[in-house]
Amino acid sequence: MEVPIRTLNNGVAIPMIGYGTWQLTDPKVCYDSVLCALEAGYRSIDTAAGYGNEDSVGRAIKDSGIPRKELFITTKLNNPDRGYDSALKAFDISMEKLGLDYLDLYLIHWPGRSNYIASWKAFEKVYAEKRVRAIGLSNFLKHHLESLAQQTDIAPVSDQLEYHPYIAQAETESYCKAHNILVEAWSPLMSGKVALADPVISAIAQAHGKSNAQVILRWHLQSGRRTIPRSVTPARIRENIDIFDFSLSLDEMAAINALCVKNTRSGPHPDEFALD
Ligand code: NDP
Catalytic residue selected from 19, 31, 42, 51: 51
pLDDT score recorded for residue 273:
94
Three-state SS for 272? coil
Burial of 41 (0-12, 13-18, 19+ CB in 10 A): middle
Per the annotation, the verdict on 51 as an active-site residue is yes
- C-beta of 160 in contact with ligand 1 (< 6 A): yes
Give how far Cα 8 sits from Cα of 70, 181, 183, 204, Å. 16, 8, 11, 31
| pLDDT(115) > 90 | no
Going from the Cα of 211 to the center of ligand 1, the distance in angstroms, rounded, reads 15
Residue 259 banded pLDDT, cuts 50, 70, 90: very high
Give the DSSP H/E element, type plus range, for residue 74: strand 72-77
The atom number, within ligand 1, closest to the CA of 190 reads 2
106 vs 135: CA distance, rounded Å = 5
Question: Percent of the chain beyond pLDDT 90?
Answer: 97
* Nearest residue to 270 via CA among 130, 167, 153: 167
Of 33, 215, 230, 233, the one to substitute when testing ligand 1's pocket (max ligand atoms within 8 A of C-beta) is 230
The H-assigned helical ranges of the chain are 27-40, 54-64, 84-98, 116-128, 142-151, 170-178, 199-208, 212-222, 234-239, 250-257
| Per-residue confidence (pLDDT) for residue 205, from 0 to 100 | 98
**Angstrom distances, CA of residue 132 to CA of 9, 96, 154, 155:** 15, 14, 13, 14
| Cβ of 105 below 6 Å from ligand 1 | no
The DSSP bridge partners found for residue 166 are: none
Largest CA distance in the chain: 54
Check if 136 has its Cβ closer than 6 Å to any atom of ligand 1: no
How many Å separate Cα 141 from the centre of its chain? 15
Q: CA nearest 246: which of 202, 209, 271, 195?
A: 209
Judge whether residue 220 has pLDDT over 80. Answer: yes
Cβ-contact 74, 50 below 8 angstroms? no
Question: Ligand 1 centroid vs 22 CA: distance in angstroms?
Answer: 7
Report how far ligand 1's centroid is from the alpha carbon of 228 (Å): 8
**Mean pLDDT estimate for the chain:** 97
pLDDT tier for residue 129 given thresholds of 50, 70 and 90: very high
Half-sphere exposure of 144 (CA within 13 A, CB side): 26
pLDDT, one tens digit per residue, over 39-65 is 999 999 999 999 999 999 999 999 999
Distance 172 CA to ligand 1 centre (A): 22
Instruction: Please report, in angstroms and rounded to a whole number, the separation of the first and last CA atoms in the chain.
Output: 44
Task: Name the CA radius of gyration of the chain, rounded.
Answer: 18
| In 179-233, alpha helices (H) | 199-208, 212-222
Indicate whether 2 pLDDT > 90: no
Identify how many contiguous H helices and E strands the chain contains and give both numbers.
10, 10
**Is the minimum distance from the CB of 30 to ligand 1 under 6 angstroms?**
no
**260 φ/ψ angles, rounded to the nearest 5 degrees:** -65, -15
